[in-house]
Amino acid sequence: MIIRPAAPEDHPAIHAVVAAAFGQPDEADLVDALRADGDALVELVAVEDEAVVGHILFSPLKTDTGAKFAALAPLSVTPGRQKDGLGTMLMQVGHELCRAAGIEALIVLGHPAYYPQVGYSAEAAKTVRAPFKGPSFMALALQPGALDGPVTVTYATAFELK
Q: What is the pLDDT of residues 55-76, one digit of tens each?
A: 999 999 999 999 999 999 999 9
Whole-angstrom distance, CA of residue 79 vs CA of residue 98: 26
CB atoms within 10 A of CB 149: 9
The mean pLDDT of 28-37, rounded to a whole number, is 96
Mean pLDDT, range 133-152, rounded to an integer: 95
% residues pLDDT > 70 (the chain): 99
| pLDDT category of residue 16 using cuts at 50, 70 and 90 | very high
Going by the DSSP 8-state scheme, the letter that residue 121 receives in this structure is B
Quick one: pLDDT at residue 94? 98
Q: What is the mean pLDDT of residues 44-62?
A: 97
Which residues have C-beta within 8 Å of that of residue 54, sequence separation ≥ 6?
3, 17, 45, 46, 76, 77, 78, 81, 86, 87, 89, 90
pLDDT for res 52: 97
Amino acid sitting at position 42 = V
Its domain, for residue 157, covers: 2-161
Provide the mean pLDDT of the chain.
95
Mean pLDDT of 27-43: 96
Q: Over 90: is that where the pLDDT of 162 sits?
A: no
Tell me how crowded residue 47 is: count the other CB atoms within 10 A of its CB. Answer: 17
Q: Is the pLDDT of residue 19 over 80?
A: yes
Backbone angles phi, psi at 73, to 5 degrees: -175, 125
How many domains is the chain built from?
1
H or E stretch covering 42: strand 42-48
- At 161 the pLDDT is 58
Count CB-CB contacts under 10 A for residue 32: 16
- List the CATH number of the domain containing 112: 3.40.630.30
In single-letter form, the type of residue at position 118 comes to V
CA dist., res. 58 & res. 34, Å (int): 9
Mapped onto helix, strand or coil, the DSSP state of residue 122 is coil
Which pLDDT value is given to residue 82?
87
Percent of the chain with pLDDT over 90: 91
